Amino acid sequence: MNPPVIEALAGGVIVSCQPVPDGPTDNLGFIVGYALAAVAGGAKGLRIEGAINVAAVCAATDVPVIGLVKRDFEAFAVRITALLEDVEGLADAGASIIAVDATRRDRPVPVSLLIAAVHARGRLAMADCADIDDAQAAIAAGADVIGTTMAGYTGGPVPKGPDLGFVRAAAMLGVPVLAEGRFNTPDQAAAAIREGALGVVAGSAITRPEHITAWYAAAIAGAWRTAPVLALDIGGSKASAALVSRGRIVERVMVRTDRASGPQAWLDAIAGLTAGWTYGGVAAAVSGVVRDGAWSAVNPVTLPVPDGFPILAALRRTFGVPATAANDAQAAAWGEYRHGAGQGRDIGFVTISSGIGGGLVLGGRLVRGHGGLAGHLGQIPFPGDRLEDGASGFGIARRAGTPDAAAAFAVGGPEVDAALDELARGLVTLQAIVDPDLLVIGGGVGLASGTIDRLEAAIAAFPASIRPRLVRAALGADAGLVGASDLHAVDLA
């Protein structure tokens, strides 16, 4: 059975109210204020440095206080409560638990004597340890609580994250463990509890604004300095390239897709047009399926890609930077979700262009699917073969007997009406299966004047429960470029 003080800390956060030495908050008023704010937020205990500070905090609140004194010695590396007089001062100040450095390093007073002095004053001794050997030695010396406080701080580079392995090992020794040392997020603290810790001590992430601000500043500066991405969108009729920075297109070029020349020639052409640009990565949105770094056609009529073309290797070789690749419609879906018409929503994206592609973003994640074609509405079976054979730009032009799909669509007629009816049936089918908040429509035909109005008229014949809400792609033809740029950061994270 643990003493009442230990039971009071069980399953809780202990907030270390230790300002940056000589910093703007290093005064008694701030320390007491931090302590009271922590208790108001649910802290079950406090860790306070200095007898004067301990006395002031103990007078202001009745939660358990872990007291310590830090001193710098010329001959010793230890700093935490290394002298017997410090134990006496902390006990007089009202600390319930007194923390001592229990690492196996040279020190002015042995750990066993410090722990004995703590017990002589009726207080509990917390041993701040660096590893499991420290913890075992401290328990042998009579420590009541083990802290992982010194893990990573006794030599070599300091790790970024906490030492959960030490927490796990220490928890098996039979003495209560307080996890401490770089537990800077709630998730890390919860992980320590799952590893067997009695409680978690958090300090810098709560009571050191200098550190917290520096973390934010470094992260934001790093993101701000991130080099733009060269985004490619290679489709059945044209290939676009753009320099994209934080969702904005800075520069762009476009070239007709020479369907007979093949993927490497398409990449070489783009490389020539963008030779003067500076970027940190390349991301390709391509018509077809990308799986395990290889690109294959889904419908060779839309774009004849040799089966299994090594797109990632070709991108790295051609442009000399880290690369990622994705299906163009899925990239566009991600672009509309992140920066366009579908921000923060569950969306289906349908591009009606040379072919018919699609993408799904559900629960904030791009759904790629087992085979890499999740959301690809154009591939569902329809009379003849598949939806895109008769209802895509190429399909409409073929049905109307003209090479110009836009002109055929503008003129209309029975063949175009039949294509619209097939599209409407496909959209309703997608809505019935996935039930997203909305369907974003893009692509050259999809964005043509009047397309959405005519599609809405066609889907009006279906029950309201499966009738999708259609919206125009806010990014227009740039959705694939912007989405590919954003996916570059996701895929390479």
Q: What is 145-208 written as a DSSP string?
A: EEE-TTTT-SSSPPPSS--HHHHHHHHTTSS-EEEESS--SHHHHHHHHHTT-SEEEE-HHHH-
pLDDT at 381 over 80: yes
Domain span holding position 275: 229-329
Give the whole-number percent of the chain exceeding pLDDT 70.
98
pLDDT at residue 492, rounded to an integer: 61
Tokens linked to 227? 């080099």
How does pLDDT run across 327-356, given as a tens digit for each residue?
999 999 999 999 999 998 999 999 998 889
| Structural domain includes residue 337 | no
Same domain, 207 and 308: no
Same domain, 110 and 259: no
Indicate whether this model's pTM tops 0.85. no
CA 217 – CA 5 distance, rounded (Å): 39
> How many structural domains is the chain composed of?
3
240-243-248-251 Cα dihedral, nearest 10 degrees: -80
Tell whether the torsion through CA atoms of 283, 288, 291 and 296 is positive or negative: negative
Domain boundary among 329, 354, 379: 329
Among 55-59, 132-136, 303-307, which is the least confidently predicted range? 303-307
Same domain, 40 and 120: yes
Neighbours of 259 (CB within 10 A): 14
**Longest CA–CA separation in the chain, Å:** 99
Domain boundary among 302, 329, 356: 329
pLDDT at residue 350, rounded to an integer: 96
Same domain, 176 and 295: no
| Structural domain includes residue 334 | no
pLDDT at 491 over 80: no
Please name the residues in contact with 71: beta carbons below 8 A apart, sequence gap of 6 or more. Answer: 79, 82, 83, 86
Same domain, 376 and 398: yes
Same domain, 138 and 13: yes
CA 450 – CA 123 distance, rounded (Å): 80
Same domain, 198 and 248: no
| Structural domain includes residue 472 | yes
DSSP state of 475: T
pLDDT mean over 197-214: 95
Tokens linked to 284? 């390709």
- Whether the CB-CB separation of 141 and 156 falls below 8 Å is answered with no
| Structural domain includes residue 169 | yes
pLDDT at 42 over 70: yes
CA 382 – CA 385 distance, rounded (Å): 6
pLDDT at residue 225, rounded to an integer: 60
pLDDT at 319 over 90: yes
pLDDT at residue 48, rounded to an integer: 98
DSSP state of 30: H
Q: Residue 393: give its domain's CATH number.
A: 3.30.420.40
CA 284 – CA 433 distance, rounded (Å): 29
Same domain, 57 and 34: yes
Q: Name the residue among 267, 262, 373 with its Cα closest to residue 319.
A: 267
pLDDT at residue 1, rounded to an integer: 58
- Whether the CB-CB separation of 331 and 424 falls below 8 Å is answered with no
| Structural domain includes residue 492 | no
- Whether the CB-CB separation of 131 and 166 falls below 8 Å is answered with yes
Residue 382: pLDDT band with limits 50, 70, 90: confident
- 108 φψ region: left (φ > 0), alpha (ψ -120 to 50), beta (else): alpha
Same domain, 100 and 234: no
How does pLDDT run across 427-474, given as a tens digit for each residue?
999 999 999 999 999 988 899 888 899 999 999 999 999 999 999 999
Neighbours of 367 (CB within 10 A): 15
pLDDT at residue 223, rounded to an integer: 66
Same domain, 348 and 475: yes
| Structural domain includes residue 476 | yes
pLDDT at 493 over 60: no
| Structural domain includes residue 490 | no
Domain boundary among 283, 303, 329: 329
Please name the residues in contact with 417: beta carbons below 8 A apart, sequence gap of 6 or more. Answer: none
CA 481 – CA 477 distance, rounded (Å): 8
Q: Residue 111: give its domain's CATH number.
A: 3.20.20.70
CA 137 – CA 317 distance, rounded (Å): 56
Q: What's the order of all strands across the beta sheet hosting 438-442?
A: 365-367, 356-362, 347-352, 438-442, 470-472
pLDDT at residue 27, rounded to an integer: 95
Same domain, 85 and 174: yes
| Structural domain includes residue 452 | yes
Amino acid identity of residue 371, one-letter, is G
Q: Would you call 244 helix, strand, or coil by DSSP?
A: strand
336-255-230-251 Cα dihedral, nearest 10 degrees: -80
Angle at 94 between CA 92 and CA 100, to 5 degrees: 80
**Cα-Cα end-to-end distance for the chain:** 47
pLDDT at residue 366, rounded to an integer: 94
Same domain, 237 and 194: no
pLDDT mean over 292-310: 88
